Amino acid sequence: MWTYNIVGIISLVAYANSLSEGDSCTKKDGSQGVCKAITNCPSALEDIKRHSPPTPCGFVNFDPIVCCGETVVPEPVTPKKRGRGRKTTTTQRPVEVKFSLECPIAERTGRKAYDKCLEYQEKYVYPCRPGPTQGMVRVDQCNREPEGLITGGENAKDGEFPHMALLGYGEGSIVWMCGGVIISERFVLTAGHCSSSRSHGVVKKILVGILKSKDDGDPSRQYDVTVKKHPDYKPPSKYNDIALLKTDRDIQLSRYVVPACLHDGGALSNDSAVITGWGTTVFRQREVPEVLQKATVTRFEDSECSKKFKNLRHMAKGYDAETQLCYGDRVSNKDSCEGDSGGPLQVNQPNVRCMYWIIGITSWGKWCGVAGEPGIYTRVSHYLQWIENEVWP
């Protein structure tokens, strides 16, 4: 969340079906006006100083157009058609800009992962752009819908989880399998067991900025990677199941490709979290969904998980609450399954708007998509120091 220390920040909202310069418009008081660049409308600038936002018409690039009542209203003009950039699968939502004497910046804490989280939010979710001559504007590029918890597994929206990565294996024809989380310009976080496949060898590539698993035709979205497994990951043991993938070049970040925030161990506000991945959603389901899936899961108590995960060959110590998390669904078949490994267990970051907190990495489970049977997730906060040392030395 930004910490604003500047008085008089004004919000102005312009909708996707906006008007163009020269179009007729109606002001909030019911009077007629003409859409103008805000810099050409002195009364609008005065309104901002008085903390009374003008009536928005739209934008030219990032420059706001407002309903200005200082000119004789001309004949109606057919709105100009303007490009909207990349097409999405959802209805365009409002664009919010905040005027201030300078772009507000949240206070840094000195914790590398948290401060980088703020940096990515300020650059790609609410970027600062030149606005009227009075100052700068922050543009709302949040792709997340203001919705509650997901009641069942469903398709994600384009750009809703911009930190998602898909991992590719093999030579020649790449096989896309595990998931991962973009955490910086050069690193993706995933599960240790996703660093290689019995059938296809070591992970070779990542694919970013996609909604559908078949959207692998654009080479600019693909990056070659090298693997850095956690030093204590010793397969087939299920402990310390975490790894970093370093890309061959900087990942091209945008509103559709944004690194996620990493949980630092702070208290969570509730027991629910969201899982995302391109894997099956029901145990032994043959058909794999093409579109990225999302579902809400619930935390199981450590005592429950200790009982469910004991006397297992690859977890000799049983469930380890210090390094693992245990989430699932008690009444329905929502869980991570084949193909979801390495993907995130996430919650809303409470202090940084429109950013996710990655609390876990999908590791394994005895079952998947079976009510009452939780899955195991690697606890990210336990490995945060190792991650910071590798990613931001």
Catalytic residue set: 193, 241, 341
Residues 94 and 140: beta-carbon distance below 8 Å: yes
**Torsions phi, psi of 27, nearest 5?**
-80, 170
Give the SS3 label for residue 113: helix
DSSP 377: E
The Cα 159–Cα 82 span in angstroms is 21
DSSP 168: E
DSSP 123: I
CA atoms within 13 Å, Cβ hemisphere of 301: 3
In one letter, which amino acid is 167?
A: L
In one letter, which amino acid is 159?
A: G
State both tokens at 267.
């208290």
Residues 193 and 362: beta-carbon distance below 8 Å: no
